[in-house]
Structure formats: structure tokens, C-alpha cells
Amino acid sequence: MEIGYQISNIQYPIPMILITGAAGKTGRAVIRALNAKRQAVRALVRRPEQVQTVEELGAREVLVGDMRHQATMDQAARGVRAVYHICPNVNPDEVLIGQTAIAAARSAGVEHFVYHSVLHPQTEAMPHHWQKLRVEEALFESGLPFTILQPAAYMQNVLGYWERILAGGIYPVPYAIETRLSMVDLEDIAEAAALVLTEPGHVGATYELVGAEAMSQTEVASIMGQALGHPVRAESVPMKTWARQARASGLSDYQVETLVKMFQYYEQYGFHGNPHVLGWLLGRPPTTFAEFVARAW
């Protein structure tokens, strides 16, 4: 694939942005947001069958490989202006993967490393959050110009239950329905990612990205009911039932155990953030949950 364009017979390289984990739901949203800004993207995907997906979203170059391997990451980072690093969700090797990406970015001399972290990585009780804190620490010590984005739980997560919500009016959650959680629209996160990757002034920043004040699951269900025009009821699913279903759907033991810890933490403490930083970055109020449901519907 072409990676140069010509103006007055002089070859200028196109400044390229590498996105890792590019075929996942976060990666796809970030490719779309960068494509809307006419930014050239190099996508790192794991499987050949994911190449077409990211090309259709606008990726200029696609590399197939395993991000745990230094040689793959070195090749992926070579010649790019910036890296947007997305680790696969709930991955036991997140620290190694982060260190590998950082080392590759250093060798390639990239100008900007943006890390897709999570809200409250300081929480040791949630192992995948804690791993992200270690990657943030490695980034501080790397000498790379960095920006860290810390998104709350995506509003899009409710779509995993969409059929039950639409057909039966039930919103099942593996914690108490009074549990209060802050969420954020993944499309807002992708827009914020594209902003920090393309506008000056974000190096050295760590941004908590939250869409709305924390809501109970009863409130979440009620908002869905209003948008859909029929009642939706939040229902607490016993953790053992959730874990059995999660294993049957293909999640590994590590993923199930880690997510159980996260749900237990949510139930005990909630998960609270503040939307001001995201509103400031986007220059508009973040998408509300009601707006998200209306769009999804």
C-alpha cells in the first residue's frame, strides 16, 4: 500500500498514527474518529480476517501480528508519528504488552505515545486496573512524550444485553441494582483520542474521561425504558450464574475471576467519576446516557 504522496515532485511521508488492538471495539471507534480528521492510521490487528474490517473503517496500513512480541511492535512503530496503545480487554499480560509497546515507541523515536488506560487505575482490588497503573508508571519513566486517557465504563457495554432489554424488558447486572456507576460514550472517547493525537498541548496530561455522574442500575433501566417506550427493569444476576455463562461464552478463567473482582468492587464502593474534564476536552457536554440510548435505538 502507498505510504507517500507527492507535491511538486517532492516526496513527503504521511505522518502516520499507529493504533494497537485496532480491531476491537475501542480501536474501531478511534480509527473512525481519526479517519474523520483525515489522519493516516496504521492498524495493528491480531488475525488476517480483521484486515478488511479496519481497512473499511479507513486504516491506511494494516499489520497483522501479536503485540506481545517485541519484533512485531518494533515493526509496527517504525516510522509513525504517534502511537495510540490499546491493550486487549482484561489481558493477563497487560504490563508486558505495555512495556513492549513503550520500548518499540522509544526505539522508533515516536513524538507522542497515548495510552488508553482506565478510570481509577489506582484500584488494586481490580487487577486489570492495577496493571494499567503499572503501565502508566512505565510510561512516566520512559522519557516518551505521553498522554494518558482514563475512560469510565463504556455506555456501549449495555448493548451486550440489548436483546434481553428489547425482548423481555430486563437489564441483568451481576451486582446489586442500587450500585452506582459512572459511564461514558465510546464515541466521545474516540473523539477525545483523536483530539489529543492531533492538537498540540496534551503532552504530559492524564485525563479522566467520564460521561455522566454515577447512576444506579435502576436509573439506567428507567432511562432505557423511557427511550424504548416500554418498561425496563434492572435485575441482579447471582455472580455464580454470571460466571458460568461467561465461561460458556468463551471467557478465560483469568478474565472471569478478574471481572468478578471488578463487579464485587462496584457493588461495595460504586465507580464514580466527574464529566467536567471530558466536556472541557470536547468543547461540549459529553453524551448523556439518554442520548446514547436514543442513538443506539
**Contact between 102 and 113 (Cβ < 8 Å):** yes
Window contacting ligand NAP (CB under 6 A); options: 86-94, 162-170, 240-248, 280-288: 86-94
List the x/- string, 153-192, binding to ligand NAP by CB under 6 A.
xx--x-----------------------------------
Q: Which amino acid belongs to residue 290?
A: A
252 lies in the site for ligand NAP, by CB under 6 A: no
19 lies in the site for ligand NAP, by CB under 6 A: no
Site for ligand NAP in 270-289 (CB under 6 A): none
47 lies in the site for ligand NAP, by CB under 6 A: yes
88 lies in the site for ligand NAP, by CB under 6 A: yes
Window contacting ligand NAP (CB under 6 A); options: 60-68, 197-205, 212-220, 285-293: 60-68
* CA nearest to 42, candidates 50, 26, 54, 24: 54
Instruction: Return the residue matching grid coordinates 474521561.
Output: 209
263 CB burial (10 A radius; 0-12, 13-18, 19+): buried
Window contacting ligand NAP (CB under 6 A); options: 5-13, 21-29, 173-181, 200-208: 21-29
Alpha helices in the chain (DSSP H): 25-36, 51-57, 70-77, 94-108, 127-142, 162-168, 186-198, 217-228, 239-248, 253-269, 276-282, 289-296
* CA nearest to 103, candidates 133, 77, 66, 84: 77
Q: Report the C-alpha gap between 151 and 185 in whole angstroms.
A: 9
Window contacting ligand NAP (CB under 6 A); options: 20-28, 30-38, 98-106, 275-283: 20-28
Using CB under 6 A as the criterion, which residues of the chain lie in contact with ligand NAP when the complex forms? 21, 23-26, 46-47, 66-68, 86-89, 116, 118, 128, 151, 153-154, 157
